Structure 1
Amino acid sequence: MTWPAPVTLTGDHVILAPLSQDHAADLARAAADLGPLWYTSIPAPDGMSAEIDRRLSLPDMQPFTVMTPKGTPVGMTTYMHTDALNKRVEIGSTWLGPSVQRTPLNTEAKLLMLGHAFDHLGCIAVEFRTHRLNSQSRRAIERLGAQLDGILRAHMVADNGTIRDTAVYSITAPEWPTIKAHLTHQLTR
């Protein structure tokens, strides 16, 4: 049995639908507007179909297509490193097209994913990981209210051959009610 099971999460600013090859063309267009970033991995437009297949084939991953309220795919996000026994997931491998960056879409996407993880899956913690030098991602994770657990030094080899230090953040179940109130408030401002 797959844990967590595929689900569609819908808000006022975003729809998170199970990732599908049906979304490949729109996702390729969204990725084409991003350009290369050395410290993170964003699928190349011509490799989008292969990336969708890769994400769908991994047993500890539940990938989503991030869509506007009108249903236009604009990015990806994922429950990954899912651990049913210990009731933990990581939210990661997230990328968004420039047209929706710094909008309420990502805040609501994280609110929906965290809510599903804590309120429906019974998670005890949700993790976020990013390159230590990815300051944009780190600021976004910190704005959610996640706490820095630490830096995994020389954690992995990046696609470009450099050694990645990984910043690990988390939100725990006892923190969730406060984080939920914080994110809900951010969306109403």
Structure 2
Amino acid sequence: MVFLVAPSAITLTGRLVELRPLRREDRDGLIEAVSEGDLHRTAWYTSVPSPDGVAAEIERRLGLLEKGEMVPFTAVDAAGRILGMTSFYNFAPEVPRLHIGYTWNRPSAHGTGTNPESKLLLMTHAFETLGAFRVGFTTQWVNFPSRSAIERLGAKQDGVMRAMSRYRNGALRDSVEYSVIEPEWPAVKANLEMRLTKRA
């Protein structure tokens, strides 16, 4: 089996959030978003860039897009305010499967419903357009807010991969792997849609 459609840059639009292809022109908005609450300092265990590192992170993601290894998005709210970034990555057409990740959003967007709607948009596209069988999520053992958010999506924990890499401060990093597979998707989708209906 292979993807029904190859993953590519596309705009995904919901009621609370729009995911549009990452552009260099998004730099200033992303710098503003990552500067809110000093996000890159408070989330030391994530890959959130510093304000000075946003331009390089954009170039890194766009470089991976050119290689076919990532499809990066900029998340924008209904008012047009840039919230952060997310991506499809780790493609395995022979399954087919992919990952959703490298996600961060400005602190004021947390708890507003934009993140679950982003995941609903991404998973709907992955399962129903691309024909993915498995959608994976990887986070860090110490990132309890991320682990909780992924579990609330309906993803199941597949395992903990210990000492997979190191943090920027040199500490060893344990990763936690989650996934949703295609037979589970209808129930996961219904749960997310119900959560978002409560925000109507």
TM-score of the pair, normalised by structure 1: 0.96
Structure 2 unaligned spans of 5+: none
Distance, in Å, in 2 between the alignment partners of 1:35 and 1:24 is: 16
Q: 1:47 aligns with which of 33, 38, 53?
A: 53
Query: Which amino acid counterpart does residue 30 of structure 2 have in structure 1?
Result: L
For the 8 Å contact 1:153–1:164, the answer to whether it is kept is: yes
Question: Aligned runs of 1:11-160 on 2, under 5 Å?
Answer: 11-33=14-36, 34-36=39-41, 37-58=43-64, 59=67, 60-160=69-169
Identity of paired residues, percent?
45
In 2, Cα distance between equivalents of 1:166 and 1:183: 25
Cα offsets for 1:5-56 (capped at 9, x unmatched) = 1110000000000001110000001001124122111111111111100011
Q: Give yes or no for the alignment of 1:8 onto 2:11.
A: yes
Q: CA deviation at 1:159?
A: 2.0
Uncovered stretches (5+) of structure 1, i.e. residues with no partner: none
The alignment covers a number of residue pairs equal to: 188
Deviation at 1:175, TM superposition (A): 0.2
Q: Aligned partner of 2:26: which letter? A: H
| Letter paired with 2:109 | V
CA offsets 1:39-83 (integer angstroms, 9 cap, x no match): 111111111111100011113111000101232211000101122
Q: How far apart, in 2, do the equivalents of 1:177 and 1:135 lie? A: 26
On the 8 A contact 1:3/1:82 being kept in 2, the answer is no
> Which SS does the other structure have where 1:186 is aligned?
helix
Task: Say whether the 8 Å CA contact 2:40–2:49 is kept in structure 1.
Answer: no
Distance in 1 separating the partners of 2:116 and 2:94: 28
Distance across 2 between alignment mates of 1:82 and 1:23: 25
SS at match of 2:115: helix
Equivalent residues of 1:132, 1:166 under 8 A apart: yes
Q: Which amino acid aligns with 2:63?
A: S
TM-score (norm 2): 0.91
Instruction: Confirm or deny: 8 A CA contact 1:129 1:169 kept in the other structure.
Output: yes
Give the drift of 1:157.
1.7
Q: What secondary structure sits across from 1:6 in the alignment? A: coil
